[in-house]
Amino acid sequence: MLIEKQRERAILVGAVMPGMRRFYEEESLKELSLLADTAGAEVVDEVVQVRGEVDSATLIGRGKVHQIARLAAEKQAGVVIFDSDLSPIQVKNLEKEIGCKILDRSGLILDIFAKRARTREAQIQVELAQLQYLLPRLTRRWTHLSRQEAGIGTRGPGETQLEVDRRAIRKRITHLKKELLKIESQRRVRRKRREDFPKVALVGYTNVGKSTLLNALAESEVFVEDRLFATLDATIRAFDLEGQRRVLLIDTVGFIRKLPAHLVASFRSTLEETLEADILVHVVDISHSNFMEQIGTVQNVLEEIGAGDKPVIMVFNKIDLIDEMSDWNHLKERFQGSLFISAARGIGLENLKREIQKRLEEMEVEDRIYISISETKVISKIYDLAEVLDRRYIDGIVRLRFRATRKHADKIYNIVKGLKKNADSDS
């Protein structure tokens, strides 16, 4: 008989500082609670502190720290999780006063990523981000972790680097960066083989249904779970639009508010796939009470990674979970071309496919080129890059009328230019 492992008992702490609204922090704590649950914790209490200024030693002030210490002892909590990022000295002081493990939002997200990473690349990226996070906090973890069992915030390198010093960690960071460079080189080769197909990337807040939408459109079976950060790796599947047009659909890691900047930087593969995409499908959970703020978070992250000017189709998902379905006009006006779907129920997917087809066609050019019929390999390559609308033969020359994306049309022009240049040099 299997005995279920007891979940760590956690207390959540939010801080409302000048310029912040208490409602915003309470919403953020709800999300922190979901993150804690995803990491395997049982949330036993929440504390919100309103302060006129940040306490440099403890963030929330000594009086509130003593209150939390008493609460942690009463609730038998093993970890106190702060919604804000903490400095190393704040963590050290809080652990000393409260007497249990202290974790901040970034540390919690990193722990979840360590738990969810599946591919070699994702595991390296998570370990790199964790080590960069741990390095300034090494002093307090040196003795703290050596007397603690593995738990939330201690997975990954937290368990394996207990006996190493800062120099050894920096050496490990350098090694991991080199490993990522090798993997990135291999990924560029794989991406080059996919250049002939239009790419559509699914982006959005975490747990809005991107993987479910990928499965519905591409008829695949990507892992889906109603948890934050259910998948970390960029997943790519092909599906066909009208006219047998093959499109590559890319599922990316979900964004979240207060996502650590170094973590965003670490997940280059997902971000690069987003940057390489021709169209972004921004998936929004319309059933979420705070979906407008989530939209803002995603848009900010897209701006940060250089994808803010990409063509976007706004897709409001999970319409089957809301009662009021009439007040959509303001969303349609604000987000031109927006669609309303249920990926889980298959509602509105044909409309989405048509919109993707329309957007791709708007990005295409029609033109004609003339090539010697002896250039069979070049003609075959053009058929790979474009939709050939018409073909005519004139005195040993083939005239191809084609439709292609601007990117593929430029490739075709360069190929033809190269043929002309070779012919001129031969003559």
Domain boundaries, the chain: 8-109, 119-185, 196-361, 364-426
* Residues constituting the chain: 427
Give tens-digit pLDDT for 206-252. Answer: 889 998 999 999 887 765 555 566 666 678 888 888 866 788 898 88
Sheet containing 199-204, strands listed edge to edge, beginning at the edge strand earlier in sequence: 235-240, 246-251, 199-204, 279-285, 312-317, 339-340
Q: Which of 226, 181, 210, 215 is nearest to 274 (CA)?
A: 210
Percentage with pLDDT > 70 across the chain: 81
Domain 8-109 has CATH 3.10.105.10: no
Mean pLDDT across 16-24: 84
Helix (H, G, I), strand (E, B) or coil at 403: strand
Mean pLDDT across 20-35: 87
State residue 185's pLDDT score: 76
Structure letter (DSSP) for residue 205: B
Give tens-digit pLDDT for 93-149. Answer: 999 999 999 999 988 988 888 887 777 877 888 888 888 888 777 654 444 334 444
Structure letter (DSSP) for residue 347: B
Give tens-digit pLDDT for 368-407. Answer: 999 998 888 889 888 888 888 999 998 889 999 998 888 8
Contact (Cβ atoms closer than 8 angstroms) between residue 250 and residue 273: yes
Query: Matching CATH topology for 8-109 and 364-426?
Result: no
Mean pLDDT (the chain, rounded):
83
State residue 140's pLDDT score: 43
Q: Which residues, 6 or more positions from 295, have their beta carbon under 8 angstroms from its beta carbon? A: 205, 282, 284
Residue 151 scores a pLDDT above 70: no
Which CATH number applies to 364-426?
3.30.70
Give tens-digit pLDDT for 160-176. Answer: 444 556 788 889 889 99
Tokens of 241: 């639009």
Tokens of 142: 């040196």
Percentage with pLDDT > 90 across the chain: 34
State residue 194's pLDDT score: 58
CATH topology of domain 196-361: Rossmann fold (3.40.50)
Give tens-digit pLDDT for 236-248. Answer: 888 888 866 788 8
